[in-house]
Amino acid sequence: MRDKIMVTQSSMPEFDEYVDEIRDIWDSVWLTNMGTKHRQLQKQLSGLLQVPEVSLFCNGHMALELTLQAFELSGQVITTPYSFASTTHAIVRNNLTPVFCDIREDDYTIDIEKLEALITPKTTAIVPVHVYGNICDNDAIMEIAHKHRLKVIYDAAHAFCVEQNGVNVAAYGDASMFSFHATKVFHTIEGGAVASSEDWLHRKLYQLKNFGIQNEEVVDEIGANAKMNEFQAAMGLCNLRHIYDQIHKRKRAADRYRQHLEGIPGIKLCREKEGVKSNYAYFPVVFDSELLTVDRDAVWQKLKEENIFTRKYFYPLINEFACYRPIYNAAETPVAKKVASSVLCLPIYAELELDVVDEICKIIKGMVLR
Ligand SMILES: *Cc1c(COP(=O)(O)O)cnc(C)c1O
């Protein structure tokens, strides 16, 4: 049997590179609470994301949850059910009510044609998701948000290093959350960041991620503990040196998948958009069971038997989770429901060998082309 192929594999710097990076931590004996490594990473990331400042966190979820808290929102927040659990949980854990908008058929981001009809006097914000690094229709979102005086906080967990016409995705909305989890294109083991040009937001987040402490004697916010530690930041500094090389290698795998799978009736790949620089974070494939004799689950099963572990990502939909199903109806987001039942994310990571991509595609073609 071949070695296991997982859907992703964390990027790792050379062992000695990380050791060199953490040596300073022994010298300073400063392990967390916004130390030198934290500050260095913060500075480098604000350069890369083209924003005046970023706030760093222990993970992406806490970054999003505390950002929503910082805006002191109330009532309803519009988001999509086609995302990771974190997006909706962050809204609900702030005592806000999520309202689910359907997604677009071609790039799985929020469908702005259906968005405005969901706005009520109670709506205070929109949390769109740049799914698989596909950029939302930001101009339309901003126009609607402006008209109805809504905040826009992006879940940009998938969109690190993604650009449109030379503009980094971090430029859009009131704030954008990035995840630096081990499975993401760029990681700090666990970690996350918020990019925003709002000065007050970074000051408030600094406090909220450190228990709401303002100074030694004043605690005036009900904060949490969501700080990024020095070992995480050191991993980030190492991984950042190799990020463009990593993305380039991912592109090679993505191009190879496209060579094999593009144009096969019943197989749908993400459209490559003009002017968009992708990070090749995921390689989603939609299997149209009306045009094929096999469905997504059959492909997932067959690849699993070959020791290749793909992911039904995103399935199930968030509005079908056991914790939300009693309150929501997935039939109200029909496109999301259909995509969730037919999508499969194929393995993609920098060190993925191209002949493994060939092999995966051969198995898929053997199933669908008959
Ligand atoms: C990974 C991810 C998150 C959460 O990030 P963590 O760093 O794992 O907490 C949120 N939203 C989406 C879409 C994600 O993929």
Percent of the chain with pLDDT over 90: 97
Give the position of tokens 């967990």: 157
List all residues 6 or more positions away from 335 whose beta carbon is below 8 Å from its beta carbon.
Answer: 102, 103, 104, 105, 111
Amino acid sitting at position 361? C
Mutate to test the pocket of ligand 1, among 155, 160, 345 (most ligand atoms within 8 A of CB): 155
Whether residue 305 is predicted with pLDDT greater than 80 in this model: the reply is yes
Whether omega before 57 lies within 30 degrees of 0, making that bond cis, reads: no
Question: Which tens digits make up the pLDDT trace of 88-115?
Answer: 999 999 999 999 999 999 999 999 999 9
Of ligand 1's listed atoms, the one at least distance from the Cα of 61 is 9
Answer whether 158 contacts ligand 1 (Cβ < 6 A).
yes
pLDDT of residue 370: 73
Identify the pLDDT of residue 289. Answer: 86
Helices 243-261 and 230-241: angle between axes, nearest 10 degrees: 60
Mean pLDDT confidence for 329-348? 98
How far is residue 303's CA from residue 324's CA, in Å, rounded to a whole number? 31
Residues 6 or more apart in contact with residue 155 via CB below 8 angstroms: 64, 79, 83, 86, 87, 127, 128, 129, 130, 177
| Helix residue spans in the chain (DSSP H) | 15-28, 36-48, 60-70, 85-92, 112-115, 138-148, 199-208, 230-241, 243-261, 296-305, 334-342, 354-368
Is 191 buried (19+), middle (13-18) or exposed (0-12) by CB count in 10 A?
buried
Other CB atoms within 10 Å distance of the CB of residue 106: 12
pLDDT at 369: 87
**Does the pLDDT at position 2 exceed 90?**
no
The answer to whether the pTM exceeds 0.85 is: yes
155-192 pLDDT tens trace: 999 999 999 999 999 999 999 999 999 999 999 999 99
Whether 13 lines ligand 1, by a CB cut-off of 6 Å, is no
- Give me 195's structure tokens: 């990019």
Residue 157 beta carbon below 6 angstroms from any ligand 1 atom: yes
Give the tens place of pLDDT for each residue, 13-68: 999 999 999 999 999 999 999 999 999 999 999 999 999 999 999 999 999 999 99
Centroid of ligand 1 to alpha carbon of 28 (angstroms): 31
The token pair at 31 is 């392990």
Considering the chain, what is the average pLDDT of its residues?
97
Cβ of 109 closer than 6 Å to ligand 1, yes or no, is no
- CA quadruple 158, 160, 166, 171: dihedral, nearest 10: 90
Relative to beta strand 192-196, strand 175-179 is: antiparallel
Ligand 1 in reach of 342 Cβ (< 6 A): no
Cβ–ligand 1 contact at 187 (below 6 Å): no
Pocket flag, ligand 1, residue 192 (CB < 6 Å): yes
Q: Ligand 1 pocket: which of 59, 61, 232 to mutate (most atoms <8 Å of CB)?
A: 61
Does residue 46 have its Cβ closer than 6 Å to ligand 1? no
For residues 244-263, give the mean pLDDT.
98
Q: Is 129 in the pocket of ligand 1 (CB under 6 A)?
A: yes
User: Which residue type sits at 218?
Assistant: V
Average pLDDT over every residue of 261-268? 96
Q: Which residue has 């808290």 as its token pair? A: 69
